[in-house]
């Protein structure tokens, strides 16, 4: 390993035009640590990753990486390798090794006419240094882990679909043996089994990994730290994503409470100044209070970049008890059969998650039931009074809209409704103001997804059929979608590789395997604990560990609560003491004021005996001394009260 500190970011600033993404970011990333980079879409997390990778420039600041450190970056330029063998594409990730291997082959090919022994020795040394003779088996193992079978490793990359090509590029990045690994959304095209393999790979990784992901459980299982890009900066938190969500709220509340405490402190000092500034005897104390106010700095808290859409789904009417019947459905694409004699009965109220490796036929099954694709044999029939609504993985509904505006596209679904209704529905999913006039063709993946969900809220289906609904959504939108679907009274059928999403919603799991369906009544957590295969056993262990951690945290909260009770009791005593001192000060100052009034009467000294005058002067002097003592006590008690806030 090169060094413990793999990456230092110092005073980094980035803005586009007048919009600040982040400013004065200083972070240190260490070896054997895994950092999740999170933030709302557009907050700057991917930009920060690009700056670290050297693919984009910052406006100011420095990035420091050890000179000899190897940096692995997940790119999406698979078109460069279309005609290369899949295994070779992976080995190319180690450029020095690949160059040495290809040069060695050329040298051996020309050996009959000329053989350069010295050059051959140099190349052999490079190959040995990079473990070149074990590289093929390492690359093959990574490909297998990512769901690409040995049978196709010698085939050109062009035979794979887009999602599997990206898996090969991920394998290339992992096989390059980097010291610093930068991954932007590595789970997007992976199934549950491949995600689990990637988790294990990263947990055994000895370098430093920085990952952008919208998969809650992936971030929980992998990350040792979270870097949150929000509030125009980036803050490092220790722990996984669940730990971070708690810490972030506590951190923000702590800052807001500190500002509130300082505002109260200013108000308290100002009240003292206003009350005593006119009194000569209090001029010194009032001036001291003003200096205290001048030294207090109130921090400006930037607004969060996180935006939460609102998803509301209401069925137009309840469906019949039997929602969907699938009988002996089979489907092939050319020589590849993806579904064989699939039979399934869906009932009203089911929240059915369909899981399984990519290419097994999950999306095809949804397309068949939605009449988007015709089965080779078998039937899929909807039950009585069912009104299905479909969220397609490719957003084909939106793509076909072309140059239509967002507002017009949604209004076409409900032409009898007023424009205010349409605008309201768009506003709920974060299309506000001029956003409604955007061309549908210009929408990002996340925007298109939110628009489709707006349409589903308008047409009010009593069955929602969702194919990978979280693929393009940020964490905030995913959380909002889960809340909306939890409140939905209809039937839910969905395909998702996002295990947190599945865990939150499913009450029934159907796993499609090469041997047929595995139908389990229960949550995803129960599925893992009771039916999970070996590759999922670790998940169940993690879930139990998380429950133990939660119980331990609850004990800490209870202990802290007991401490809070003691703090409040002490604070109450101090407030009572302060109020008594204040009352004594007020009483003494009133008496001093009364004596001063007597002394100001021109006839007082003529008609008052000298002994009485002496007593009053002595009383006034004694009271002024006591007031000084009480003021010192008052300031001490007030400081103790402030320290408890």
- Any long-range contacts for 543-548 (C-beta under 8 Å, 24+ apart)? 546/220, 546/242
What is the model's pLDDT at position 644?
73
- Reduced to 3 states, what is the DSSP secondary structure of residue 133? helix
What distance in Å separates the CA atoms of residue 140 and residue 103, rounded to the nearest whole number?
22
- Residue 468 · residue 214 · CB < 8 Å: no
Matching fold, domains 5-242 and 547-644: no
What distance in Å separates the CA atoms of residue 103 and residue 97, rounded to the nearest whole number?
10
What is the model's pLDDT at position 71?
92
What distance in Å separates the CA atoms of residue 262 and residue 296, rounded to the nearest whole number?
7
Once rounded to an integer, what is the mean pLDDT over residues 113-120? 77
What distance in Å separates the CA atoms of residue 229 and residue 232, rounded to the nearest whole number?
7
What is the model's pLDDT at position 323?
95
Domain ranges across the chain: 5-242, 322-532, 547-644
Fold for the domain defined by 5-242: Rossmann fold (3.40.50)
113 against 50, higher pLDDT: 50
Once rounded to an integer, what is the mean pLDDT over residues 30-39? 94
- Residue 168 · residue 143 · CB < 8 Å: yes
Burial of 200 (0-12, 13-18, 19+ CB in 10 A): middle
Other beta carbons within 10 Å of 456: 21
The 10s digit of each residue's pLDDT in 180-233 is 999 998 987 787 778 888 999 999 999 999 999 988 889 999 999 999 998 888
- Reduced to 3 states, what is the DSSP secondary structure of residue 229? strand
The 10s digit of each residue's pLDDT in 320-367 is 999 999 999 999 988 888 899 999 999 999 999 998 877 788 999 999
- Residue 234 · residue 227 · CB < 8 Å: yes
What is the model's pLDDT at position 545?
46
Buried b (16+ CB within 10 A) or exposed e, 5-33: ebbebeebbbeeeeeebbbebebebebeb
What is the model's pLDDT at position 542?
45
DSSP code per residue over 339-385: EEEEEEEEETT-EEEEE--TTSSHHHHHHHHTTSS--SEEEEEE-TT
- Residue 60 · residue 70 · CB < 8 Å: no
Cα dihedral 88, 94, 97, 99 sign: positive
578 against 265, higher pLDDT: 578
- β 508-513/491-495 pair status: unpaired
Range of weakest confidence among 33-47, 213-227, 524-538, 568-582: 524-538
Once rounded to an integer, what is the mean pLDDT over residues 481-508? 94
What is the model's pLDDT at position 298?
65
DSSP code per residue over 570-632: HHHHHHHHHHHHHHHHHHHHHHHHHHHHHHH-TTHHHHS-HHHHHHHHHHHHHHHHHHHHHHH
What is the model's pLDDT at position 589?
80
Other beta carbons within 10 Å of 278: 9
Range of weakest confidence among 153-162, 170-179, 186-195, 274-283: 274-283
- Residue 414 · residue 454 · CB < 8 Å: no
Range of weakest confidence among 252-261, 448-457, 559-568: 559-568
Q: What is the mean pLDDT of the chain?
A: 85
What distance in Å separates the CA atoms of residue 645 and residue 255, rounded to the nearest whole number?
13
Percent of the chain at pLDDT exceeding 90:
43
What is the model's pLDDT at position 59?
92
Other beta carbons within 10 Å of 38: 29
Confidence class of residue 92 from pLDDT cuts 50, 70 and 90? very high
pLDDT at 431 over 60: yes
Range of weakest confidence among 372-376, 405-409, 593-597: 593-597
- Residue 282 · residue 453 · CB < 8 Å: no
Confidence class of residue 638 from pLDDT cuts 50, 70 and 90? confident
What is the value of pTM for the model shown? 0.67
- CATH of region 322-532, choose from 3.40.50.720, 3.40.50.150, 3.40.109.10, 3.40.50.300: 3.40.50.300
What is the model's pLDDT at position 534?
32
Fold for the domain defined by 547-644: Helix Hairpins (1.10.287)
What is the model's pLDDT at position 533?
46
pLDDT at 35 over 50: yes
């Amino acid at each position: 390993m090169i060094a413990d500190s793999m990456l230092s970011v110092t005073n980094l600033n980035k803005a586009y035009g007048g919009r600040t993404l982040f400013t004065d970011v200083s972070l240190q990333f260490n070896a054997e640590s895994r950092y999740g980079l999170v933030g709302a879409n557009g907050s700057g997390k991917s930009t920060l990753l690009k700056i670290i990778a050297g693919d984009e420039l910052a406006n100011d600041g420095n990035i420091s990486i050890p000179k000899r450190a190897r940096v692995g970056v997940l790119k999406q330029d698979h078109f460069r390798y279309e005609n290369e063998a899949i295994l070779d594409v992976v080995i190319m990730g180690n450029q020095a090794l690949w160059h040495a291997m290809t040069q060695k082959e050329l040298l051996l090919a020309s050996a009959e006419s000329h053989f350069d022994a010295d050059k051959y020795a140099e190349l052999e040394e490079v190959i040995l240094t990079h473990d070149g003779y074990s590289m093929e088996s390492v690359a093959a193992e990574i490909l297998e882990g990512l769901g690409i079978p040995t049978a196709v490793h010698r085939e050109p990359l062009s035979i794979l679909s887009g999602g599997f090509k990206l898996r090969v590029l991920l394998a290339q990045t992992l096989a390059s043996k980097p010291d610093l690994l930068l991954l932007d959304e590595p789970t997007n095209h992976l199934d549950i089994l491949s995600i689990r393999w990637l988790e294990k790979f990263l947990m055994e990784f000895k370098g430093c990994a920085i990952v952008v992901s919208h998969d809650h459980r992936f971030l929980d299982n992998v990350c040792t730290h979270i870097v949150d890009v929000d509030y125009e900066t980036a803050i490092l938190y220790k722990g996984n994503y669940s730990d971070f969500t708690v810490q972030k709220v506590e951190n923000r509340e702590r800052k807001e409470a500190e500002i509130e405490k300082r505002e109260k402190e200013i108000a308290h000092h100002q009240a003292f100044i206003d009350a005593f500034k006119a009194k000569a005897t209090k001029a010194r104390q009032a001036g001291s209070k003003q200096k205290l106010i001048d030294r207090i700095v109130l921090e400006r808290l930037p607004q969060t970049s996180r935006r939460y859409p609102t998803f509301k789904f209401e069925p137009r009417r309840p469906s019949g008890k039997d929602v969907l019947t699938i009988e002996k459905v089979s489907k092939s694409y050319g020589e590849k059969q993806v579904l064989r004699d699939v039979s399934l009965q869906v009932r009203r109220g089911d929240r059915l998650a369909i899981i399984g490796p990519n290419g097994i036929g999950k999306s095809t099954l949804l397309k068949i039931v939605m009449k988007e694709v015709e089965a080779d044999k078998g039937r899929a029939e909807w039950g009585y009074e069912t009104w299905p609504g479909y969220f397609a993985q490719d957003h084909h509904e939106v793509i076909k809209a072309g140059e239509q505006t967002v507002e017009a596209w949604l209004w076409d679904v409900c032409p009898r409704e007023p424009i205010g209704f349409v605008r309201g529905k768009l506003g709920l999913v974060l299309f506000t103001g001029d956003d409604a006039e955007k061309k549908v063709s210009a929408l990002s993946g996340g925007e298109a997804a939110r628009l489709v969900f707006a349409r589903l809220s308008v047409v009010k289906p009593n069955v929602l059929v969702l194919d990978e609904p979280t693929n393009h959504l940020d964490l905030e939108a995913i959380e909002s979608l889960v809340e909306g679907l939890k409140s939905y009274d209809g039937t839910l059928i969905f395909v998702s590789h996002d295990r947190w999403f599945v865990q939150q919603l499913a009450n029934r799991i159907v796993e499609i395997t090469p041997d047929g369906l595995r139908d389990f009544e229960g949550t995803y957590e129960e599925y893992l604990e009771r039916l999970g295969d070996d590759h999922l056993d670790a998940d169940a262990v993690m879930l139990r560990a998380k429950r133990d951690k939660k119980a331990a945290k609850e004990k800490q909260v209870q202990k802290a609560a007991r401490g809070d009770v003691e703090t409040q009791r002490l604070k109450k005593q101090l407030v009572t003491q302060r109020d008594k001192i204040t009352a004594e000060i007020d009483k003494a100052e009133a008496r001093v004021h009364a004596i001063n009034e007597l002394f100001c009467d021109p006839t007082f000294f003529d008609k008052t005996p000298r002994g009485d005058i002496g007593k009053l002067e002595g009383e006034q002097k004694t009271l002024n001394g006591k007031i000084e003592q009480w003021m010192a006590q008052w300031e001490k008690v007030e400081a103790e009260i402030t320290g408890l806030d």
